[in-house]
Amino acid sequence: MSEIIQPDSAQALAQALAEANAAQRLVAPRGGGTKSDWGNPGARADIVLSTAGLNRIIEHAWADMTVTVEAGCTIAHLQKTLAQHGQRLAIDPLWPENATIGGILATNDSGALRIRFGSLRDLIIGMTIALPDGTIAMSGGKVVKNVAGYDLPKLMTGALGTLGVITQAIFRLHPLPLTAKTLSANLPTLEAAQALMLAIQDSQLAHSALQLRVATMAVDILFEGTEAGVASQQAFCSTLANFQESSPEVWKAREQLWPAEGADIIKFSVLPSEIAQAVSRPKAHDCVVQATGIGHAKLKGADLAALRRQVESGGGSFVILTPSALDAWGSPGDTLTLMRAVKQQFDPNQILNRGRYVGGI
């Protein structure tokens, strides 16, 4: 059994890390535990370092549209607090009730809103991390526009906790939409669905989300804004396809791929113009693809290695999110040496999530 440590301050967390580092004990940082099986299994951790004790919202500077929040705070709790001032963190990650800020950052989990608001890397403006040697370091800041120093918040986002433990993050916020409307259209073929998504992307619509649910060959689009703006865009959409008003529930389609129940769940990324081709190969019925080219699919008995080769040969990526005999990440391109050098600088003893990341990091 791993020892569980739950510090209640960044200082205590850094201290625990430093002690583990000195003793060469392996550490697995943990937030809500919703994605703790992502990545490779790696070496078994001696210590689970929980951020559950760091769950405060430090400051919602609503007039400046920023929030400073500790890593252990759940997304749902944060959104509820921000909504009191009509604002939100414009992101729709998996399992918001349990997923924490630190967890979504470490796994770089973003959903359908990305097409309008960008992913976490575009919303985070500051971060505090604790390093294995006990250093507590801050980078970025509380202002949206800031180019002083290196952009470590981006480096840490998606690093799966292998460089340091995120203790606090600062985000830029967006206003809650005045109105929102979801429309859906059923298309006869994959090719038609892709053509529709590309046409919408090439139009002057200002949608907040656009996805394809392959099982029902439905294209979903989300409009947010003024009544007048949403109505006019809805009217234009009807000229492109038979769009009908539908339920916001469709945006949970990605989350509904889970539980895996013995199947493989993968995240793939391809060019938007190659979505139909990518999805047709595995006959992935249980598949949701954003117009950005990022998709999630649930596959039973598929030849994942072959699929990965095909996607990677076209410049895409193919990450296996459920436990697998294959490497979870796939090709690291030509940067593995550089990534290892970065890891060496931040965590020379490799105590953080050892072996779980890209290329064995």
Q: Should residue 217 be labelled a site residue for other proteins when binding is judged by CB under 8 A?
A: no
Candidates 48, 57, 138, 260: give the one binding other proteins (CB under 8 A): 138
d(CA 112, CA 40): 26
Binding mask 12-51 for other proteins (x = CB under 8 A): ------------x-x---------------xxx-------
Candidates 232, 277, 310, 324: give the one binding other proteins (CB under 8 A): 232
Q: What is the DSSP letter of 181?
A: E
Which residue is it, tokens 């800020």? 101
For residue 146, the minimal CB distance to other proteins (Å) is 4
- Region near other proteins per CB under 8 A, out of 73-81, 94-102, 182-190, 271-279: 271-279
Binders of other proteins among residues 189 to 208 (CB under 8 A) are 198, 201-206
Binders of other proteins among residues 142 to 171 (CB under 8 A) are 142-152, 154-155, 157-159, 163
**149 vs 248, beta carbon nearer other proteins:** 149
**232 vs 310, beta carbon nearer other proteins:** 232
**33 vs 158, beta carbon nearer other proteins:** 158
Give whole-number Cα distances, 62 to 97, 114, 138, 206, in Å.
22, 22, 22, 25
Which residue is it, tokens 């924490």? 100
- Region near other proteins per CB under 8 A, out of 91-99, 182-190, 220-228, 299-307: 220-228
Residues 175-213: b if buried by 16+ CB within 10 A, e if exposed: eebeeebbbbbebeebebbbbbbeebeeeebebbbbbbb
Candidates 2, 98, 269, 310: give the one binding other proteins (CB under 8 A): 269
Q: In sequence order, which residues have a C-beta less than 8 Å from that of residue 292 and are 6 or more positions away? A: 114, 115, 272
Q: Should residue 234 be labelled a site residue for other proteins when binding is judged by CB under 8 A?
A: no
Q: Which residues pair with residue 182 across a beta bridge? A: 222
d(CA 335, CA 90): 31
Binders of other proteins among residues 241 to 260 (CB under 8 A) are none
Q: In sequence order, which residues have a C-beta less than 8 Å from that of residue 118 and are 6 or more positions away? A: none
Note whether 92 and 120 are within 8 A (CB): no
